[in-house]
Amino acid sequence: DSGVTQTPKHLITATGQRVTLRCSPRSGDLSVYWYQQSLDQGLQFLIQYYNGEERAKGNILERFSAQQFPDLHSELNLSSLELGDSALYFCASSAGDTYNEQFFGPGTRLTVL
């Protein structure tokens, strides 16, 4: 158990819908990262927050957004969902801003029908 929690574990929804994925980092960690894992793209970095502020952006679509709240939990919002958005979405946390081990949550499996 990494100490990172993600909810829900599974999510099934229809195209065009909007969903919110939630992540709680390990106690004391200030950074939260979001990654997407799909069969064709592999593991891709989406976005990082550090202590409430966006710190780095990766291959995140404009239809996706995230935020980190004062209690350091984070949410990833996915809207106008397409079939191709079906994937495993992982949250990870680390103590600092850079150059630290990242500890991953169990993931949310999103299926878009």
Partner 1 sequence: SQQGEEDPQALSIQEGENATMNCSYKTSINNLQWYRQNSGRGLVHLILIRSNEREKHSGRLRVTLDTSKKSSSLLITASRAADTASYFCATEGYGNNRLAFGKGNQVVVIP
Binding-site ranges for partner 1 (CB under 8 A): 2, 4, 33, 35, 42-45, 48, 50, 55-56, 58, 88, 90, 92, 97-99, 101-107, 109
Nearer to partner 1 (CB atom), residue 16 or residue 97: 97
Identify which of 93, 80, 92 has the alpha carbon closest to the alpha carbon of residue 37. Answer: 92
Nearer to partner 1, 13 or 60 (CB): 60
Structural contact between residues 30 and 79, judged by C-beta atoms closer than 8 angstroms: no
Q: Of 40 and 62, which has the nearer Cβ to partner 1?
A: 40
Minimum distance of partner 1 from residue 101's CB (angstroms)? 5
Euclidean distance between the first and the last CA atom of the chain, given in angstroms as a whole number: 31
Contact 81, 17 (CB under 8 A): yes
Report in angstroms the alpha-carbon separations of 100 from 65, 83, 108. Answer: 24, 34, 23
Q: Which is nearer to partner 1, 18 or 57 (CB)?
A: 57
Provide the minimum distance between the beta carbon of 105 and partner 1 in the complex, in angstroms, as a whole number: 6
Q: Looking at the DSSP assignment, which residues form a beta bridge with residue 47? A: 34, 57
Min dist CB 44 to partner 1, Å, is 8
